[in-house]
């Protein structure tokens, strides 16, 4: 069973979802790939991880540099996407990295010569736990802001909120 609640953020409504007391989703209402990784019964019910997530988001939007490891995350998808999302969790608050840098790191970790930045971009775009898994901190290698499943305006807001240099 999947528990869900709605969280009202400065950027609009966010649907939070959990399974077995682990956070599996945080989607802006209407964002690309909304609920795309969810299967099974869904109920509107607040549990402990969803309460913790609401508190985490409150503190984040109030300017606190909250830590990702405060929440028990369990995004569900392919092993490649999960690998990319783990790397996103290492990007410090207020900093950015590029799709190319992530691709290079994955290639190095896998002992291969090269990894596609576009493949990384696809995984980043399918991130089911917006804000908390900070896909908004990934930019193009030319320094340009590229797409964001929740909308480019939200990405800009989040980077400015964190006082990121991009």
State the CB neighbour count (10 A cutoff) for residue 125: 16
For the record, the structure tokens of 16 come out as 């939070």
Q: DSSP readout, 96-116?
A: -EEHHHHHHHHHHHHT-S---
**What is the spatial distance between Cα 85 and Cα 59, in angstroms, rounded to a whole number?**
22
| Tokens representing residue 166 in the block | 């991009």
Rounded to 10°, the helix 117-125/79-88 angle is 80
Q: Is 89 a catalytic residue?
A: no
| Rg, C-alpha atoms of the chain | 15
What distance in Å separates the CA atoms of residue 131 and residue 125, rounded to the nearest whole number? 12
Which of 135, 138, 149, 158 is labelled catalytic? 135
For the annotated catalytic residues, the residue numbers are 135
């Amino acid at each position: 069973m999947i528990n869900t609640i709605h969280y009202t953020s400065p950027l609009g409504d966010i649907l939070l979802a959990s399974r077995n007391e682990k956070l599996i989703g945080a989607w802006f209402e209407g964002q690309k790939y909304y609920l795309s990784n969810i299967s099974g019964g869904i109920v509107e019910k607040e549990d402990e991880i969803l309460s913790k997530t609401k508190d985490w988001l409150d503190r984040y939007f109030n300017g606190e540099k909250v830590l990702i490891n405060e929440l028990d995350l369990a995004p569900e998808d392919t092993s490649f996407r999960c690998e990319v999302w783990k790397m996103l969790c290492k990007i410090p608050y207020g900093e950015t990295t590029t799709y190319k840098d992530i691709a290079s790191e994955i290639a190095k970790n896998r002992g291969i010569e090269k990894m596609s930045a576009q493949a990384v971009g696809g995984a980043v775009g399918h991130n089911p736990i917006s804000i908390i898994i900070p896909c908004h901190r990934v930019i193009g290698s030319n320094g340009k802001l590229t797409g964001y499943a929740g909308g480019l305006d939200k990405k800009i807001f989040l980077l400015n909120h964190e006082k990121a240099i991009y």
